[in-house]
Amino acid sequence: MARLNVNPTRMEMTRLKKLHKTATRGHKLLKDKLDELMKQFLEIVKENKRLREEAEEALEKAYKSFVIARAVMSEEYMGEALMMPKQSVSVDVSQRNVMSVNVPVFDFKTEGKEKEIYPYGLAFTSGELDSATEAFSFAMEPLLKLAESEKSAQLMAQEIEKTRRRVNALENVMIPNYEETIKYISMKLEENDRASTTRLMKVKDMIAKKAIEERRKQNEGSEQSSAV
């Protein structure tokens, strides 16, 4: 904790109390935000794990089938078979707001005839190539969803770290500094009040002594006049 370099006045203490109240309220709001961000982040991580397993399973199947297809087909004929795809994929990218974080949303669309995923005739190709093509097609959507989930997790992690730094700064620096400074100003004001009270009492004693002295002189003058 470090005391702020301010003048110990009542006006300054009032200002610091308002700042302390605002900082305390902001700390609570940021703490609630951090808790909700962590909750959303854990849900995204859980979904990320599921999508990764699904995509890896589809890709593993696709690569195994493709390796076998390359072994039974010539490289030249396979290249010709895959040269002219009948489907294309488009992705529309938008955003959604999650706790003030704009995370991406990928909208996956397949253009072309829905069932024509094979860009070749089935009569002169290997069945393993058909399996590989089908597996790659099925892997496309979970891969895009995985990319969306991982980017969302990255952005959420950055926001969590930024929010945590703000919470720590308020909790460990700003709020304690305000409290220490307010305590210091309060002690200074009390000390000044006690000093003012002491000075006032001394002035009253001096006035009282002076008044008593004047009355004594007046009484002595009256007695001398009576004696004459």
Give 97-106 pLDDT, tens digit per residue.
888 888 888 8
| 10-72 helix and 175-227 helix, angle to the nearest 10 degrees | 180
Report if residue 5 sits inside a domain: no
Report if residue 59 sits inside a domain: yes
What pLDDT sits at residue 6?
Answer: 83
What pLDDT sits at residue 123?
Answer: 55
Q: What share of the chain is helix, strand, coil (3-state, %, to 5)?
A: 75, 10, 15
Report if residue 77 sits inside a domain: yes
Q: Are 82 and 120 in contact (CB under 8 A)?
A: yes
Q: Which residues of 108-136 are buried (b: 16+ CB within 10 A; e: fewer)?
A: eeeeeeeeebbebeeeebbebbbbbbbbb
What pLDDT sits at residue 126?
Answer: 67
**How many separate domains does the chain show?**
1
Q: Phi and psi of 162, rounded to 5°? A: -65, -45
Q: Are 34 and 160 in contact (CB under 8 A)?
A: yes
pTM, two decimals, is 0.68
What pLDDT sits at residue 116?
Answer: 63
What pLDDT sits at residue 118?
Answer: 63
What whole-number percentage of the chain has pLDDT above 70?
82
Q: What range does the domain containing 39 cover?
A: 10-180
Report if residue 144 sits inside a domain: yes
Regions of the chain with pLDDT less than 50: none
Report if residue 213 sits inside a domain: no
Terminal-to-terminal C-alpha distance of the chain: 78
Which residues are 109's β-sheet partners?
90
Structure tokens at 96: 């959604």
Report if residue 34 sits inside a domain: yes
What pLDDT sits at residue 196?
Answer: 81
CATH number of the domain that residue 139 is part of: 1.10.287.3240
CB 182: neighbour CB atoms within 10 A? Answer: 19
| Those residues with Cβ within 8 angstroms of residue 80's Cβ, 6 or more apart along the chain or in another chain | 120
